[in-house]
Amino acid sequence: MTRYRGDTGARAASNEDTRRLIDASVRLAAEASRMFIPEPNIADRHYWLETMMNHIPDYIYAKDLEGRFLIANHATVSDCGFEKMQDILGKNDFDIHAPELAAHFAADERRVIETGEPLFGIEERVAVLKGPDRWLMTSKLPLRDKQGSTIGIVGVSRDITELKRSERMLVGQARLLEMIATRAPIEQFFTELILLIESQMPGISGSILTLSPDGKHLLHGAAPSQAPAYSAAIHGVAIGPKVGSCGTAAFTGEPVLVADILTDPLWEDYKAIAAPYSYRSCWSTPIRSYEGKVLGTFALYSAQPGLPSDEHNELILMAAHLAGIAIERQQAEERIHFMAHHDALTGLPNRLMFDAKVAAALQQAQGSGRWVALAFLDLDNFKLVNDSLGHHAGDEMLRIVADRMRACVRKSDMIVRVGGDEFIIMLNGLPTERDLVLSRFEKIRSAIAAPMMLSGRSLQVSCSMGVVCYPDHGDTAIDLVANADSAMYRAKEIGRNNLQLFNVEMAAKAHEKLLHQEELRDAIARQEFVLHYQPQVNLHTGRVFAAEALVRWQHPERGLVTPADFIPLAEETGLIVAIGDWVLNAACRQNKAWQDAGLPPIIVSVNVSARQFSEGDCVSRVAAALRDSGLEACYLELELTESLIMQDVPAAIATMHELEALGVQLAIDDFGTGYSSLSALKSFPVSRLKIDRSFVQDLPGDEDDRAITGAIISLAQKLNLRVIAEGVETQAQVDFLRAAGCTEIQGYFFSKPLPTTDFERVFSVCHASKLIAEVDAA
Ligand SMILES: Nc1nc2c(ncn2[C@@H]2O[C@H](COP(=O)(O)O[C@H]3[C@@H](O)[C@H](n4cnc5c(=O)[nH]c(N)nc54)O[C@@H]3COP(=O)(O)O)[C@@H](O)[C@H]2O)c(=O)[nH]1
């Protein structure tokens, strides 16, 4: 027997086993002492004692002061390699065991003899003659004669191998679950799992293989006790119906227990690989996900042919189950990581990942004499696709475009989606040749522009690109992206569907735009806006019945700035929401003030931009403006453009109904320029259509415009809607519109938009009927 102590050491005997062992040891010591006292019935006692000892499976023995066996029970005798007790009597441990082990036993026993103190519950791992190491719990006590003098020792050892195994199993399982919970590296988890199973099944080595993402190959997971060369030979093996134990188990999804590798047909093509390692049996079980998907295999190899016992099978299933949990957990984490760094729609990396990679690419390019080129790309008229074919078609288009771009770049390049239809492409390590760089991006543009099938139609989409090259056009990722963005805007400005390389003029323009933006922000803070009002006249009554509120910027240096010069920037930057809010409140206040001043009540009409309308609290802002000003809702009209409504028809209808419920009137502005379907129009809770100026300006001469305005007027009549023509400048236009049935008119013919006081004068002094009379007279 060989004994290892380092890993456990002596432990206080506190459990029930130890207590019983102590009691037995004390009784045995007393009995052994009595054996040396001549008693009349000693023979009987001797016989009883020997019989009792031989029936006990624990090792029981007594030794003299020189360590020679005085007595030993059957278990001790046979496990020390003898047949009967007489064979062991008089021998010491040095005669039986290896010198090192014998010396350990002798040292313990010497201590007991010298101190007179017993040693209780020593846990020791011992190598026995046959089979695997065993764990013993040993107690040694002084053997005393009648006078109380120590004449030797009595030893008792119990085999606690099974106990130790289940203890190890419990601790091991807890540790593995903790590893899953604390996200320990999966290879480390696999290794611990295999070592745990191997500790329960001596002579057996385990391996874990994982299924490749394409589900076709097995990849090395862990095999701590196998030769690395064998693991390497298995790594990457294609699964199939006759691919050893693991390849077959992964393929069929069923356990494959091969009792003899040398003869089993499943191993026919693989036994040569296993031969140098003397593997004879291999039992493999699929590792499955919670839903039953195969994730890999857990396999045990043995040098002996044979099949696993029930107990072994239980262990294998438990191991495969734990491995499944760990793999699923890891896959979930990988998915979360992927989602955090990628765009869900296209699968392209997102801005987070881009920032890190661009920084690395720029660093690598420093002093390399190569360029890193970035292109900011925006699809042309993508909104039209969304508006006309719906968001599903728009999404599909983005996916197709992403795939086409991906196919055009190398692995070291990168494409990210930074907004709805905006992408950034980074090409790495390019020669410093302007034409070559541009041709690479032009290739991507042509790939995008190829026809594609969407919702059963063949479509083509073009794109505008702005290109920058590092280090020529910026030092940092932020500067480069901003400059590429400016170049892209230039490409849009000059008609879309083209590519622009960044230059300094663009930078100046971008800078100027930034300054305007800041100025506009300050203007909002300082409330530098004023409203002008343009009268709307009813041709029947000749009355001014409404006024459109039109904003102007009272610039401290530039004077009165028209909305066309700042509304587009305000819309682009979102500042329109604050400006629109100011307009709404000011218009409501002014209308109430006119009413309070005794002027006949009129409707004030306010333009609402798309950003303003889609803000979550649009309805409550309108309600607040009415409440704060005290204006009755029926004197407020909101003008919504067709394109605004068509961006998201169901949401727009819902908001429009909420506004209608407040009592506010709704009108569709610029009618005829958008894409509203006539069927959708029925469901809009609007009371008025506003014919766009572009259809009025060439009336009555232009045949098409006559047809369009005529159609809009009769459509409005059929749908029971009022209709107003805007941009009316001439008598001929008035005459045509009146004849066509349009009775509401707005335009320079009657009045330009006027500052408040001028409007009041026109409205009160020069009443609309007078205006009409003048018109008729003219
Ligand atoms: N979201 C908001 N948009 C607003 C607001 N105020 C104005 N605007 C929009 O700005 C655009 C330009 O407006 P403006 O320069 O005020 O031009 C208006 C009228 O002056 C002009 N008009 C009216 N009659 C005539 C005409 O006979 N001839 C002619 N050439 N122009 C004329 O039309 C503009 C009004 O258009 P509309 O709103 O479509 O009725 C303009 O798009 C405004 O909408 C604001 O507060 N918020």
Q: What is the pLDDT of residues 174-212, one digit of tens each?
A: 999 899 888 899 999 999 999 999 988 888 999 999 999
From CA 666, how far away is CA 659, in angstroms rounded?
8
CA of residue 552 to ligand 1 center, whole Å: 10
Any atom of ligand 1 within 6 Å of the Cβ of 669: yes
Give tens-digit pLDDT for 323-347.
999 999 999 988 888 888 899 999 9
Cβ of 536 below 6 Å from ligand 1: no
Name the one residue in this structure whose structure tokens are 């006559």: 706
Indicate whether 296 and 363 sit together in one domain. Answer: no
**What number does the ligand 1 atom closest to the CA of 571 have?**
1
Residue of minimum CA distance from atom 46 in ligand 1: 551
* Residue 32 confidence (pLDDT) above 70: no
- State the number of CA atoms in the 13 A half-sphere of 448 facing the CB: 28
- Ligand 1, atom 20, residue with closest C-alpha: 753
Residue 110 lies in domain: 42-160
Helix axis angle, 477-493 relative to 351-365, nearest 10°? 110
- Dist. CA 734 → ligand 1 center (Å): 19
pLDDT at 542: 83
Residue to probe by mutation, ligand 1, list 575, 605, 607, most atoms within 8 Å of CB: 607
Q: Which is the closest atom of ligand 1 to the Cα of 669?
A: 39
Specify burial of residue 645 (Cβ count, 10 A radius: 0-12, 13-18, 19+): buried
Pocket of ligand 1 contains residue 729 by CB under 6 Å: yes
pLDDT at residue 678 in the model: 67
Q: What pLDDT shows up at residue 677? A: 61
Q: Is residue 36 part of a domain?
A: no
Atom of ligand 1 nearest to the CA of 532: 16
How does pLDDT run across 164-173, given as a tens digit for each residue?
888 888 899 8
Burial degree of 260 (CB within 10 A; 0-12, 13-18, 19+) = middle
Q: What is the mean pLDDT of residues 658-681?
A: 82
Regarding the beta carbon of 62 and ligand 1, being less than 6 Å apart is answered: no
- The domain boundary, picked from 309, 339, 369, lies at 339
Task: Verify whether ligand 1 is closer than 6 Å to residue 734 (CB atom).
Answer: no
> Are 708 and 626 within one domain?
yes
| Ramachandran area for residue 296 (φ above 0: left; ψ -120 to 50: alpha; else beta) | left
Say if ligand 1 is within 6 A of residue 36 CB: no
CA of 550 to the centre of ligand 1 (A): 6
Residue with the smallest CA separation from ligand 1 atom 3 is 607
Q: Report the separation in Å between the CA atom of 557 and the middle of ligand 1, taken as the mean of its atom positions.
A: 23
Question: Within 13 Å and on the Cβ side, how many CA atoms surround 146?
Answer: 6
Provide the CATH number for the domain around residue 110.
3.30.450.20
* Smallest CA separation from ligand 1 atom 26, residue: 727
Question: Ligand 1 centroid vs 676 CA: distance in angstroms?
Answer: 21
Looking at the fold, whether 153 and 291 belong to one and the same domain comes out as no
Q: How far is the CA of 577 from the centre of ligand 1 (A)?
A: 17
Inter-residue contact 597 to 626 (CB < 8 Å): no
Q: Are residues 562 and 424 in the same domain?
A: no
Q: Residue 508's pLDDT is what?
A: 86
Q: What is the pLDDT averaged over residues 522-539? A: 94
607 Cβ closer than 6 Å to some ligand 1 atom? yes
416, 533 in Cβ contact below 8 A?
Answer: no
For ligand 1, atom 16: residue with the closest CA = 550
Contact yes or no for 12/21 (Cβ under 8 A): no
Ligand 1 pocket member 237 (CB < 6 A): no
Ligand 1, atom 44: closest residue by C-alpha: 607
| pLDDT reported for residue 776 | 53
Regarding the beta carbon of 672 and ligand 1, being less than 6 Å apart is answered no
Regarding the beta carbon of 564 and ligand 1, being less than 6 Å apart is answered: yes
For ligand 1, say whether the CB of 748 is within 6 Å of any of its atoms: yes
Whole-number Å distance between alpha carbons of 542 and 532: 21
The 3 state secondary structure assigned to 256-268 is: EEECCCCCCHHHC
- Ligand 1 atom nearest residue 749's Cα: 27
Quickly list DSSP for 546-583: EEEEEEEEEETTTEEEPGGGTHHHHHHHTTHHHHHHHH
Question: Are residue 404 and residue 526 in the same domain, yes or no?
Answer: no
- Tell me: the pLDDT tens digits for 475-505? 999 999 999 999 998 999 888 999 999 998 8
Compute, in angstroms, the gap from residue 396 CA to the centroid of ligand 1.
37
Give the pLDDT score at 14.
47
* CATH code of the domain in which 489 resides: 3.30.70.270
Atom of ligand 1 nearest to the CA of 570: 1
**Per-residue pLDDT tens digits for 759-770:** 998 887 555 454
C-alpha dist (Å) from residue 79 to 159, 614, 716, 743: 12, 87, 108, 118
**The last residue of a domain, from among 502, 531, 562:** 502
The domain boundary, picked from 145, 160, 175, lies at: 160
Residues of the chain above pLDDT 90, percent: 66
Alpha helices in 304-430 (DSSP H): 310-341, 351-365, 382-389, 391-408
Work out which ligand 1 atom sits closest to the CA atom of 583.
Answer: 46
Nearest-CA residue for ligand 1 atom 6 is 550
Nearest CA to ligand 1 atom 30: 727
**Residue 576 CA: which ligand 1 atom is closest?**
1
The CATH number linked to 201 is: 3.30.450.40
- Note whether 765 and 735 are within 8 A (CB): no
Q: From the CA of 712, how far away is ligand 1's center (Å)?
A: 20
Protein residue closest via CA to atom 47 of ligand 1: 607
With a cut of 80, say whether residue 72 has pLDDT above it.
yes
Return the structure tokens found at 92: 């010491």
- Confidence check: pLDDT of 593 > 90: yes
The C-alpha R_g of the chain, in whole angstroms, comes to: 46
**For position 547, what pLDDT does the model report?**
96
Whether 235 and 377 map to the same domain: the answer is no
Q: Is it the case that residue 643 has pLDDT exceeding 80? A: no
Structure tokens at 21: 């062992």
What is the atom index within ligand 1 of the atom nearest the CA of 534? 23
Q: CA-CA distance, 211 to 300, in Å (whole number)? A: 17
Kindly state whether residue 490 falls inside one of the protein's structural domains: yes
Q: Are residues 539 and 486 in the same domain?
A: no
Ligand 1 near 568 CB (within 6 A)? no
Counted domains in the chain: 4
Instruction: Judge if the beta carbon of residue 155 lies within 6 A of ligand 1.
Output: no
Pocket perturbation via mutation, ligand 1, pick of 527, 530, 567 by most ligand atoms within 8 A of CB: 567
Residue 165 inside a domain? The answer is no
CATH code for the domain of 653: 3.20.20.450
Looking from the CA of residue 551, the nearest atom of ligand 1 is 6
What is the reported pLDDT for 8? 37
Q: What's the CA-to-centroid distance between 184 and ligand 1, angstroms?
A: 64
Tell me, using a 6 A CB cutoff, whether residue 581 lines ligand 1. no
Q: How many angstroms separate the CA atoms of 551 and 605, rounded?
A: 12
Q: Which of 95-109, 626-640, 675-689 has the least mean pLDDT?
A: 675-689
Q: Is the pLDDT of residue 775 over 60?
A: no
* Residue 7: inside a domain: no
Considering only CA atoms, which residue is closest to atom 33 of ligand 1? 727
Average pLDDT, the chain: 89
Question: Residue 660 pLDDT > 50, yes or no?
Answer: yes
What distance in Å separates the CA atoms of residue 316 and residue 104, rounded to the nearest whole number? Answer: 38
Phi/psi-derived region of residue 492, left when phi > 0, alpha when psi is between -120 and 50, beta in every other case: alpha
109/242 same-domain check:
no
Q: Which of the residue ranges 23-32, 290-299, 589-598, 691-700 would you say has the lowest mean pLDDT? A: 23-32
CA–CA distance, 305 with 281 (Å, rounded to integer) = 5
In degrees, rounded to 5, the angle at the alpha carbon of residue 674 between the alpha carbons of residues 673 and 676 is 130
Same domain, 353 and 416: yes
Nearest CA to ligand 1 atom 38: 607
* Sequence letter at residue 47: Y
Whether the pLDDT of residue 512 is over 80: the answer is yes
**Coil/strand/helix, residue 290:** coil
Pocket of ligand 1 contains residue 726 by CB under 6 Å? yes
Ligand 1 close to Cβ of residue 562 (< 6 A): yes
Taking CA atoms only, the protein residue closest to ligand 1 atom 42 is 564
Q: Tell me, yes or no, whether 148 and 210 share the same domain.
A: no
Query: Exposed, middle or buried: residue 700 (CB in 10 Å: 0-12, 13-18, 19+)?
Result: middle
Residue 171 lies in a domain: no
The residue count of the chain comes to 778
Give one DSSP letter per residue of 20-68, joined into a string. Answer: HHHHHHHHHHHHHHHHTS--TTHHHHHHHHHHHHHH-SSEEEEEETTS-
Could you tell me if 354 and 335 lie in one domain? no
Q: What is the dihedral of CA 98, 101, 102, 107, to 10 degrees?
A: 160
Q: Is residue 746 part of a domain?
A: yes
Going by alpha carbons, the residue nearest to atom 13 of ligand 1 is 563
Q: Among 380, 523, 358, which Cα is nearest to 424's?
A: 358
pTM exceeds 0.80 for this model: no
- pLDDT by residue (tens digit) across 392-422? 999 999 999 999 999 999 999 999 999 889 9
In a domain, 175, yes or no: no
- Ligand 1 within 6 A of CB of 563: yes
Q: Tell me, using a 6 A CB cutoff, whether residue 747 lines ligand 1.
A: yes
Residue 275, domain member (yes or no) = yes
Q: Tell me, yes or no, whether 668 and 722 share the same domain.
A: yes
Element spanning 205, H or E? strand 204-211
